[in-house]
Amino acid sequence: MEIFKYMEKYDYEQLLFCQDKESGLKAIIAIHDTTLGPALGGTRMWMYESEEAAIEDALRLARGMTYKNAAAGLNLGGGKTVIIGDPRKDKNEAMFRAFGRFIQGLNGRYITAEDVGTTVADMDIIYEETDYVTGISPAFGSSGNPSPVTAYGVYRGMKAAAKEAFGSDSLQGKVIAVQGVGNVAYNLCRHLHEEGAKLIVTDINKEAVQRVVEEFGAKAVDPNDIYSVDCDIFAPCALGGIINDETIPQLKAKVIAGAANNQLKEARHGDIIHEMGIVYAPDYVINAGGVINVADELYGYNRERAMKKVEQIYNNIEKVFEIAKRDNIPTYKAADRLAEERIEKMRKSRSQFLQNGQHILSRRRNR
Ligand SMILES: NC(=O)C1=CN([C@@H]2O[C@H](COP(=O)(O)OP(=O)(O)OC[C@H]3O[C@@H](n4cnc5c(N)ncnc54)[C@H](O)[C@@H]3O)[C@@H](O)[C@H]2O)C=CC1
Ligand SMILES: CC(C)CC(=O)C(=O)O
């Protein structure tokens, strides 16, 4: 991989490699764009097949955060970290403290939170070393685990997508295929079950599947069969790249609306599903609930205020559909347009000189 070429192509600001031999930390922090404010994005811990795969994931996820934060109306840029390792075996306290010190060294250019493979307990350790971490325990006056809030936002966005596809936003009786039933999707399944949807689920973790089968009456299928099941809505809630040349021909759903980041393997897959008449709720718009929630900590966390913003995901998805129709483009492009227009406007207004410009986190310190 030609790293600078890739960074130039999508205009990345910074890529950092953080190594600590004692604890085994191997982390890659990618900062994509800080036009709107400091880069905020979670830390993923995963067993990558290669260092190149880890770099690529960090870069793609960081860019996704720029778009997610912009489309959600947050004054934050986009960044993300990946830690190379097995979250079940390789974690230790020293690792997250070393990582916290690296974040502190960035002096607020990057703020972290949870992602796949990391937990509130990990964020609490990072907090020992730096203020630039969110999603820490409610005991610290913080917002805690973002996953249930992400799930609620996905539920709201899914309703908006259902309205677009079926003429009503009711999910009662709708058959919904959920791929991956981890932290976010378990909570999503609860909302869907409460509204009377019929669930078909899969996961590579059998215990996670068992839980939603028992609690929400879901039907379980093998991981490879989830794409082809007869359903109204497909909700990808595991990892990215799952809308691709192999899976698209299998899909029967009229709507794709789920939590996973980077669902389209390539942009052209967004064009293909558009041509097929599938209503796609762009991933970074529908799954912004978690980041909206943790970002509220920067103002002194207020759950009511945060949840009001998360409710708006319904309207944000509607806005994307409106732009798509207005400009006759697929929804993934409409979402990009929404985010890019906001960033460009701010980039222009930021050219004004400001003396003593305050950092966003100074509000938290002064409260
Ligand atoms: N946690 C959050 O607040 C947010 C999460 N997301 C994204 O949502 C997705 C899910 O996140 P979490 O629920 O937090 O992660 P998680 O790790 O708790 O859940 C993911 C689940 O997917 C399963 N899985 C992995 N590969 C699979 C496969 N090939 N087939 C079926 N199941 C598979 C895993 O076993 C796991 O149970 C990720 O893409 C994450 O980046 C996006 C925004 C916020
Ligand atoms: C706080 C996290 C949920 C933010 C993030 O990394 C994401 O939305 O993917």
pLDDT in tens, 20-43: 999 999 999 999 999 999 999 999
What percent of the chain stands above pLDDT 70?
A: 95
Query: Using CB atoms within 10 A of its CB, is residue 213 exposed (0-12), middle (13-18) or buried (19+)?
Result: middle
Is 348 marked active-site?
no
Strand ranges (E), 204-278: 219-220, 233-236, 255-256
Strand partners, 243: 264
Taking only the tens place, the pLDDT of each residue in 302-348 is 999 999 999 999 999 999 999 999 999 999 999 999 999 999 998 88
Structure confidence at residue 357 (pLDDT): 58
Q: How many CB atoms lie within 10 A of CB 349?
A: 8
Any ligand 1 atom below 6 A from CB of 208: yes
Q: Which residues are annotated as a binding site for NAD(+)?
A: 180-185
Say whether pLDDT at 1 is over 90: no
Strand partners, 17: 28
d(CA 243, CA 251): 9
Q: Which ligand is nearest to the CA of 180?
A: 1
Structure confidence at residue 353 (pLDDT): 62
Ligand 2 pocket: which of 114, 126, 239, 263 to mutate (most atoms within 8 A of CB): 114
d(CA 223, CA 138): 35
CATH superfamily, domain at 3-63+77-140 = Leucine Dehydrogenase, chain A, domain 1 (3.40.50.10860)
Find the catalytic residue in 26, 80, 309, 333.
80
Cα–ligand 2 centroid distance for 230 (angstroms)? 31
Say whether pLDDT at 156 is over 70: yes
The answer to whether 121 touches 96, Cβ cutoff 8 Å, is no
d(CA 305, CA 312): 11
Structure confidence at residue 87 (pLDDT): 97
What percent of the chain stands above pLDDT 90?
A: 93
Say whether pLDDT at 12 is over 90: yes
Please report which confidence band the pLDDT of residue 352 belongs to, taking 50, 70 and 90 as the band edges. low
CATH superfamily, domain at 147-342 = NAD(P)-binding Rossmann-like Domain (3.40.50.720)
Say whether pLDDT at 365 is over 60: no
Whose CA is closest to 344, among 354, 336, 332? 336
Whose CA is closest to 323, among 164, 166, 168? 164
Say whether pLDDT at 367 is over 60: no
Whose CA is closest to 258, among 233, 241, 224? 233
Q: What is the Cα gyration radius of the chain?
A: 20
Whose CA is closest to 176, among 154, 191, 192? 192
Ligand 1 pocket: which of 190, 204, 221, 222 to mutate (most atoms within 8 A of CB): 204
Mean pLDDT of 338-361: 76
Structure confidence at residue 358 (pLDDT): 59
Any ligand 1 atom below 6 A from CB of 184: yes
Q: State both tokens at 31.
A: 């900062």
Q: How many CB atoms lie within 10 A of CB 232?
A: 19
Structure confidence at residue 361 (pLDDT): 61
Alpha helices in 217-278 (DSSP H): 267-275
d(CA 18, CA 26): 6
Taking only the tens place, the pLDDT of each residue in 176-210 is 999 999 999 999 999 999 999 999 999 999 999 99
Cα–ligand 2 centroid distance for 320 (angstroms)? 20
Helix (H) or strand (E) segment spanning residue 25: strand 25-33
| Same fold: 3-63+77-140 with 147-342 | yes
Helix (H) or strand (E) segment spanning residue 284: helix 283-286
Taking only the tens place, the pLDDT of each residue in 95-135 is 999 999 999 999 999 999 999 999 999 999 999 999 999 99
Every domain of the chain and the residues it spans: 3-63+77-140, 147-342
Torsion-angle region of residue 85: left (phi > 0), alpha (psi -120 to 50) or beta?
left
Contact residues of ligand 2, CB 6 A cut-off = 41-42, 68, 113-115, 135, 146, 150, 261, 287, 290-291, 294
Mean pLDDT of the chain: 95
